[in-house]
Amino acid sequence: MAGIFDHAAVNRVQQANDIVDVVAEHVSLKRKGREMVGLCPFHEDHRPSMCVNPTKQIFKCFACGAGGDVLKFVQMRENLTFPQAVERLAERAGIALESRRLAPQRRDPGSDVDPNLLARLNGWAMKNFQQWLSDPERGKVAREYLATRRISADSIAHWNLGVAPNAVDALAKAAAAQKIPSQLLQQGGLTAGTGQDKFVHRLMFPIADATGRCIGFGGRTLSDAGAKYINSPTTPLFDKSNTLYGLDRARHRIVATGTAIVVEGYTDVIMAHQFGCTNVVATLGTSFTTGHGRTLRRYAKRVVLVYDSDIAGMEAANRALEVCLSQRLDIKLGFVPQGKDPCDFLLAAGQEAFDRIVEDATDVLQFKWDRLKAAFEGDDSLAARRTMLNEFLQAIATGLAAENIPVLDSGLIVNKVSKIIGLTPREINADLSRRMGQVTRAMRSQDDRRERSGSIDWGQGLYAAAQREVLEVLLSEPGLFEEHRRELSTSLFDVPILRQIAGVLLDVLRSEDDFSLSAMLARTESVSLGEAIVELQAVGEQKGNYASRLSDAMEVLRRYGKDSQTMRPEDKGEGDWHVVESESSTPRQNRHSLGIS
């Protein structure tokens, strides 16, 4: 069952990684009674639907059904197989497993390369880049550049900065010397098709995920050749459209302050942290995407996007707003004056001036409104005004459809718009409803796509319900197993998912070890099986009344279990005596306040 690793090793890894700590690397958690709650990272969560239970060491989302132990969480979150998740958490806890090294693996042709292996490869490359930066010859130009940007020695060490030397195959040669296969270098995006290094003569910024491991690189040119910045290509480990530079170093401060500050450049992040603003992250040369929004929402209540005040900065800010309005994220915009980037601004004006930009940041709708007003009051062409109006109404419709703007406020907005554009409030309202309809339909189809495809088939009828009941009780009250030990066997279970669970459960109950839910989950490799187990346990616990439910259910199994299949009642009506829905009613959060003047 455990595949490459034995049960003892998997248990050890599971126990060494507290689920609360691991989940908190991805989601901000708050204590609620005996559990911790947070926004579920597995669906578009608008209120904290995910509970993490420190005693049972499990998590469960009451909205989308995701659930399991720490291994399942990492499997799902990082798209890993079960053995990969075991390796990943072993590494996290510093446990040495007898496992694979940086070596080619036997896998199906065409299948994705192991993300853990790529992370180790990146870590190795990072060390090389760092060593080359302190090399008198190879690191000279990069060190000079860092000095002109006034990035301190502490920052260089803190951010693991390095250099890709001015040679086309420095890294490829180093890899060959270590017997690292060239194919792996290419899969990790460190070499190009020709077998030559991807990053040549560049200052190297290692990019970490929220948990701190290196998932890719950004490289800034040290000559006039080529693009100013390039990133690692997309790999199973790295997707720049939802990665934020510095999140691993900034997330604690973001959770503590409730605010995330987003800038555009690596050096902006480094300088901000150097000045003590440690809740700053950056997008990787892309505009702010829905993916970024979704990531930050799990840590921060407020996001302040800080842009250059030039036209490109304004346009970037404007594009980012579309994303924010549909995400129920309280987003504000700050602009650095005089066309400076935040890095230079911090050096020139200091931390307090930077803090003021963040404090004085403009509300999203205020920004849109200012643009609209400027277009209508200035000498913009009719077409330009039309575009601005379209943009503004679309933003309002998106905010309303996402319930991000209170309806009351929209009345005020409509009146204001009416005054400057010369349409009646009625006409504007009609336009808004049409747009809202479109936005709502688009959002709904997205939600549908995200809904779990084919929820669990628990079987139907009294016999299936009785099987489920037995598992529900035993998962919650394993002490009752002894009484029915001799009777209970996997063959009593004929619903596939229940039979699978019974197989593992009876196995664990019969073993000498004390039963625990997490020990059971450590033996299940499949994410969906883990989810089903957590679901059964949660439902079972809510119903309580264990002993009598178990004896009733056993009675049904006894009666029908030995008879032929045709004797079993299959009508749907009797199946629903075990359905319990949980209801949570946390108030919605993160509404924009409208300060349109």
Nearer to Zn ion, 240 or 298 (CB): 298
Containing H/E element for 362? strand 362-363
- Contact pick of 5, 29, 35, 42 for Zn ion (by CB under 5 A): 42
Cβ–Cβ contacts within 10 Å for residue 74, how many?
A: 26
Smallest distance from Zn ion to CB 53, Å: 15
Binding map of Zn ion across residues 182-221, x = CB under 5 A, - = no contact: ----------------------------------------
d(CA 138, CA 80): 37
Binding residues for Zn ion, rule CB under 5 A, total: 7
Give the interface segment with Zn ion, choosing from 61-69, 198-206, 431-439, 498-506 (CB under 5 A): 61-69
Question: Could you give the dihedral angle defined by the CA atoms of residues 256, 258, 263 and 269, in that order, rounded to the nearest 10 degrees?
Answer: 0
Nearer to Zn ion, 378 or 454 (CB): 454
Give the interface segment with Zn ion, choosing from 58-66, 70-78, 116-124, 579-587 (CB under 5 A): 58-66
Asked whether the beta carbons of 295 and 77 are under 8 A apart, the reply is no
Bridge partners (DSSP) listed for residue 31: 36
Nearer to Zn ion, 2 or 63 (CB): 63
Smallest distance from Zn ion to CB 63, Å: 5
Helices assigned H by DSSP within 544-583: 546-561
Nearer to Zn ion, 38 or 399 (CB): 38
Smallest distance from Zn ion to CB 452, Å: 9
Give the interface segment with Zn ion, choosing from 9-17, 20-28, 53-61, 170-178 (CB under 5 A): 53-61
Nearer to Zn ion, 42 or 481 (CB): 42
Nearer to Zn ion, 427 or 447 (CB): 447
Q: Identify residues 11-40 at the interface with Zn ion (CB under 5 A).
A: 40
Give the interface segment with Zn ion, choosing from 55-63, 287-295, 313-321, 378-386 (CB under 5 A): 55-63
d(CA 10, CA 369): 56
Nearer to Zn ion, 42 or 307 (CB): 42
* Residue 61 touches Zn ion, criterion: CB under 5 A: yes
* Residue 59 touches Zn ion, criterion: CB under 5 A: no
d(CA 113, CA 119): 11
Smallest distance from Zn ion to CB 247, Å: 21
Smallest distance from Zn ion to CB 48, Å: 10
Nearer to Zn ion, 426 or 588 (CB): 588
d(CA 9, CA 7): 5
Would you list the DSSP string of 432-486? Answer: HHHHHHHHHHHHHHHHHHHSPSS------HHHHHHHHHHHHHHHH-GGGHHHHTT
Smallest distance from Zn ion to CB 66, Å: 5
Q: Which residues contact 62 (CB under 8 A, 6 or more apart)?
A: 49, 50, 51, 582, 584
Place of tokens 């033996």: 523
* Residue 43 touches Zn ion, criterion: CB under 5 A: yes
Smallest distance from Zn ion to CB 49, Å: 5
- Contact pick of 52, 58, 64, 260 for Zn ion (by CB under 5 A): 64
Residue 62 carries which DSSP code? T
Sheet holding 302-308, edge to edge: 280-282, 259-263, 302-308, 330-336, 362-363
Containing H/E element for 388? helix 382-401
Pick the closest to residue 20 from 47, 60, 48, 59 (CA basis): 59
Nearer to Zn ion, 117 or 532 (CB): 532
Residues that bind Zn ion (CB under 5 A): 40, 42-43, 61, 63-64, 66
